[in-house]
Amino acid sequence: MKYRFNLRTWLLVALMALPLLTNVAFGQEEAAAAADPGPESAYSSEEYIASEGYATFAVNNLWICIAAALVFIMHLGFATLESGLTQSKNTVNILFKNVWIITTGILLYAFWGFNSMYPGDGNGFFAMGSWFGGDLNDASLTTAEYNAGYTWWGDFIFQAMFAATAATIVSGAVAERIKLTSFMIYAVILVGLAYPISGYWKWGGGWLDARGFYDFAGSSVVHAFGGFAALAAVLILGPRKGKYTSSGIKPIVGHSLPLAAIGVFLLWLGWFGFNGGSALSADPKAVSYALTTTSLAAAAGAVASIFTSWIVLKKPDLSMALNGILAGLVGITAGADTVGEGSSVIIGLVAGVIVVFSILFFDKIKIDDPVGAVSVHGICGMWGTIAVGIFSFDPGHSLGVQILGTVAISIFAFVFSFVVFFVLKMIMGVRVSEEEESEGLDVAEHGAPAYHIS
């Protein structure tokens, strides 16, 4: 199939772009207005730098910026993990999707998402987005007056890196058979519109936050959201050809375990920023504690899934070990700052066991998720959120509310994803043809294979 931007596609794109362009125009105008008082400078004044508390603010904001860089590198981690666990004939396609997600993700978050997720006030369920641009002359954006931990732009760049993660999780689950243009539109809607909505519920001060729901760095807000969005997409999409045959399940093995391992190690590295940065300052106690619980859970997740899969599959399975690390990381994400060190080990161990059985379960019921994204992010994201209700040393955290919150976000993600994906299926189709799938998306969609090793 040739990829033309046909009329239907163009209309869809144009429809989506309209509000954004309005936002830019508006944003530029605003910025122009703001610049009126005189020339702006991106640098703090000497008075401010010499003022009390400046150093603390500087180290806080620096950590948020570095954490943003670490979360950014998770997108390379996802790209290599997903590539490694799938067939070499679909590698270009996966890398292309990941470039698309991170780049449009940042732009959409600037044009709409940031202000939609953090509206300041609102009805608790939904807020309109708008261009995020701020005024460099406005001290209430550039100093601790805005937030003790970061400037307006530190806040934006850290949150923007998070936003794209949701669609990246889906990318792995739908790999090897999804139609590129459909995925591109789907990802844009998911990252641009849906993620800020449920994100607002908790982190933007919406209805879940008001009920005392706790999700430190996003076991639910990011991971369960992505995992259950992925589940809906996979259900509509169906399994890859040849996976579930009349003679049983035929494993479709990944093409490069080194790539997959690189991915998981980079994801772990990125999680230092994901969880560590979620302390929202460089608070020595909070940052070092979160990194400790995060690493303990990752380690415990790997060990648990190594032994679990060894017993179940009768061999030491590398991809299960790698998924165990991710399971532990996803599991500890909701409570990294609020559970004991011993509890973080237990949370990781449980996540490492869960992920093995969950992957086998979904395979058994013929839900084809090439990289185990639904299990790692969806199921372990739920587990991590619920675990806060069990292990937290803050008596304010309630098991019931934790369950409510993770279920609410997961259902929202599932339904939203289902509807969007279903509509896309009706309008333009979501799956490549059988010939294209068999040929591989790299040649069929991109006209170029990923490898030429002579």
By CB under 8 A, name the one of 115, 182, 219, 295 that touches a second copy.
295
Q: What is the size of the binding site for a second copy (CB under 8 A)? A: 137
- The reply on whether position 47 binds a second copy by CB under 8 A is no
- The reply on whether position 131 binds a second copy by CB under 8 A is yes
By CB under 8 A, name the one of 286, 367, 401, 407 that touches a second copy.
286
Residue closer to a second copy by CB (options 286, 360) is 286
Nearest distance, CB of residue 125 and a second copy, angstroms: 28
Residues 258-277 that bind a second copy (CB under 8 A): 258-259, 261-262, 265-266, 268-269, 272, 276
- The reply on whether position 426 binds a second copy by CB under 8 A is no
Candidate ranges 43-51, 233-241, 368-376, 423-431; the one touching a second copy (CB under 8 A): 43-51
Q: How far is CA 429 from CA 180, 370, 440, in A?
A: 10, 21, 18
Residues 188-227 that bind a second copy (CB under 8 A): none
Residue closer to a second copy by CB (options 225, 289) is 289
- The reply on whether position 88 binds a second copy by CB under 8 A is yes
Query: Residue 143: which of 248, 236, 48, 214 has the closest Cα?
Result: 48
Token pair 């998924």: residue: 323
Query: Residue 191: which of 220, 170, 219 has the closest Cα?
Result: 170
Residues 352-381 that bind a second copy (CB under 8 A): none
By CB under 8 A, name the one of 113, 119, 129, 154 that touches a second copy.
154
Residues 239-258 that bind a second copy (CB under 8 A): 253-258
Cα–Cα dist 221/218, whole Å:
5
Residue closer to a second copy by CB (options 97, 416) is 97
- The reply on whether position 309 binds a second copy by CB under 8 A is no
- The reply on whether position 451 binds a second copy by CB under 8 A is yes
- The reply on whether position 231 binds a second copy by CB under 8 A is no
Nearest distance, CB of residue 145 and a second copy, angstroms: 12
By CB under 8 A, name the one of 12, 79, 190, 430 that touches a second copy.
79
- The reply on whether position 350 binds a second copy by CB under 8 A is no
Phi, psi of 215 (to 5 degrees): -150, 90
- The reply on whether position 428 binds a second copy by CB under 8 A is no
Residue closer to a second copy by CB (options 86, 385) is 86
Residues 169-188 that bind a second copy (CB under 8 A): 180
Cα–Cα dist 263/251, whole Å:
21
Candidate ranges 66-74, 227-235, 363-371, 414-422; the one touching a second copy (CB under 8 A): 66-74
- The reply on whether position 15 binds a second copy by CB under 8 A is no
- The H or E element that residue 245 is part of is strand 244-245
By CB under 8 A, name the one of 81, 175, 299, 387 that touches a second copy.
299
- The reply on whether position 388 binds a second copy by CB under 8 A is no
C-alpha 269: how far from chain center: 15
Query: Residue 64: which of 161, 136, 130, 132 has the closest Cα?
Result: 161
By CB under 8 A, name the one of 115, 116, 130, 142 that touches a second copy.
142
Q: How far is CA 75 from CA 155, 180, 225, 432, in A?
A: 19, 18, 17, 25
Dig out the tokens for 88 from the structure: 């070499």
Cα–Cα dist 220/60, whole Å:
25
Q: Is 178 helix (H, G, I), strand (E, B) or coil?
A: strand
The residues with which 248 forms a beta bridge, in sequence order, are 245
- The reply on whether position 112 binds a second copy by CB under 8 A is no
Cα–Cα dist 227/262, whole Å:
21
- The H or E element that residue 37 is part of is none
- The H or E element that residue 430 is part of is none
Query: Residue 324: which of 342, 339, 303, 344 has the closest Cα?
Result: 303
Candidate ranges 136-144, 202-210, 231-239, 354-362; the one touching a second copy (CB under 8 A): 136-144
Query: Residue 291: which of 356, 388, 419, 282 has the closest Cα?
Result: 282
- The reply on whether position 95 binds a second copy by CB under 8 A is yes
Amino acid sitting at position 386? I
- The reply on whether position 65 binds a second copy by CB under 8 A is yes
The rounded radius of gyration (Å) of the Cα atoms in the chain is: 22
Dig out the tokens for 340 from the structure: 């004991």
